[in-house]
A and B are shown apart, each in its own frame.
Chain A
Amino acid sequence: MTNPQSTIRNPQSAYSARFKEHLTNPRHAGALADANAVAECVNPICGDRLQLFLRIRDQRIEAAGFLAYGCPPTVACGSVLTEMLQGLTTDQAQRLTRREIIDALGGLPARKSHAAALAVETLHTALAKI
């Protein structure tokens, strides 16, 4: 049985293997030179920062890249988001939820779910620029 306190005291124990894999081998890291939709959102309270770069042609996301500063979930959410976005239409991307990002990472501790919220906010900001 999981001791709920143990995840509070030891943040690492709350992270899944998939999460750690994204953190150590982030996908699509870096700015896209030919991006046509770029957004940066910052969590004003904790200073977490996510930049998203999208190359969109004919309403479809051809490529995505990201840069992230902040706690590990911010990096992992950026990584998994860019992986999920590849090939999606902008409508499909618009419907991506915080829950789907968290599930794709194999879960996040509740106190770190703000990182997924930042990812969705950054995605919506980027899509609004098309």
Chain B
Amino acid sequence: MRRVYLDNSATTPVDRRVIEAMLPYLTEKFGNASSVHFFGQEARAAVDRARREVAALINARPNEIVLLSGGTEANNLAIRGVAESNAQHGQHMITSAIEHSAVRGVCDALEARGWEVTRLPVYEDGVVRIEDVRAALRPDTVLVTVMLANNEIGTIQPIVEIGQLIQAERARGRKHLWLHTDAVQAAGRMVVNVENLNCDLLSLSAHKLNAPKGIGALFVRRSVRLTPQNVGGHQERERRAGTEAVGSIVAFGEAARLAREELDGRIAHLRTLRDRFEAGVTARISDIVFNGYREQRLPHLSNISFRFIEGEGLLINLDMQGVAVSTGSACSSGSLEPSPVIRALGRSDELARGSIRFSLGKDTTDEDITYVLEVLPRAVENLRRLSPLYQQAIAERTCVNA
């Protein structure tokens, strides 16, 4: 059976060039980067090279990159680290209603400890409004954390404008107000430049960039102080203790280099295939709703609600035919857990339940899309044939047309 992987927002396959780059650091070049002997210095040099590549991907300085275990740790270090080092200046933070659970969970945890959290709406297009950020700012606000691009619908948030706003506030004397953005989904799929974004902290994950899982980075602008969350070692300039995962770091560096050098080609490839996919779905399947602002979103992602059916059923049907996708909604123990992101768009429970995320990768082919366009309409039709909601809609339409 043909297998098509359209779940690249969940994770990506490791690029062969990345594997080749990292392998020596799992075998003969195995040193601890903190050791002073030859083996250690060889590892240290590799870590430094990789750090420069990660920094170059986002136009940062190498010493502004803290290497750590992934996006979740980066978000934890950014939010908790800033919160703890700025608590004496205020205990209010601003976030959006569509953050990844790695940000949402940290904000919830701080809220439980007495912090106040303002969650900004995103409206039907899935985009935060700069006026809402401005209105939410308070004298005791110390952190704004809004993702650069959403993981379910791909909408790109106005971080440039939010960054300008924060900078202007800082120029007016608010020295303890910081901007963090979760760029885990964005990096490698759009230009990410911390100087243009005006952000102070930015989270990255390597496994969304065709590198292995378990490695990521937090950009920390030089002026930002944050309380380390991992202590017990001097690594990463005292910001994250723990022996460096040299092989994974080398892989991350190579993946970052490839992403930077191949970015334009990847974006064009992804957009061409994604647009062909969406045009094909529109032509073949009725009663669908695209989720999120389609003009300003990541090029690899398409989120579609299929009316009258439920996402998990469609996911399993597609999986049985070799197509891997994902849904943000789940029904568990008789309680409905529609995707918070789709719900934040103001969609009904039915549309939230019927939403599916298709996320393409740099290795997705035209033939893959052709195959998905062949099996998807059939899977939707099979589930709709069973759906009382669909039968009812058909009957009502027949009545109207009669």
Contact = CB atoms under 8 A, between A and B. Distances in A.
A18 to B, nearest CB: 13
B279 interface: no
B387 A46 contact: no
Interface stretch (A20-28, A54-62, A89-97, A99-107): A20-28
A68 B386 contact: yes
A82 to B, nearest CB: 11
Nearest to B349: A47
Given A29-B385, A48-B331, A71-B331, A23 B313 contact: yes
Interface residues of B, number: 28
Interface in B333-347: 333-336
A34 B387 CA distance: 19
Interface stretch (B50-58, B188-196, B316-324): B316-324
Contact of A45 (B309, B330, B334, B385): B334
A7 to B, nearest CB: 12
A71 B349 CA distance: 13
B226 to A, nearest CB: 30
B382 A69 contact: no
Nearest to B331: A71
Given A49-B388, A49-B389, A71 B310 contact: yes
Of listed B308, B330, B333, residue having the most chain A CB within 10 A: B333
B42 to A, nearest CB: 38
Interface residues of B, dominant DSSP: helix
Interface string A29-58: 111000000001001011111010000000
A67 B391 contact: yes
Given A26-B386, A68-B388, A46 B336 contact: yes
A20 B334 contact: no
Contacts of A48: 331, 334
Given A20-B316, A43-B334, A67 B310 contact: no
A72 B316 contact: yes
A12 interface: yes
A12 B332 contact: no
B350 to A, nearest CB: 8
Going nearest first, the 4 A-B pairs with the smallest beta carbon separation are A114-B334, A71-B331, A46-B336, A67-B388
Interface of B: 308-310, 312-313, 315-317, 319-320, 330-336, 349-350, 353, 382-383, 385-389, 391
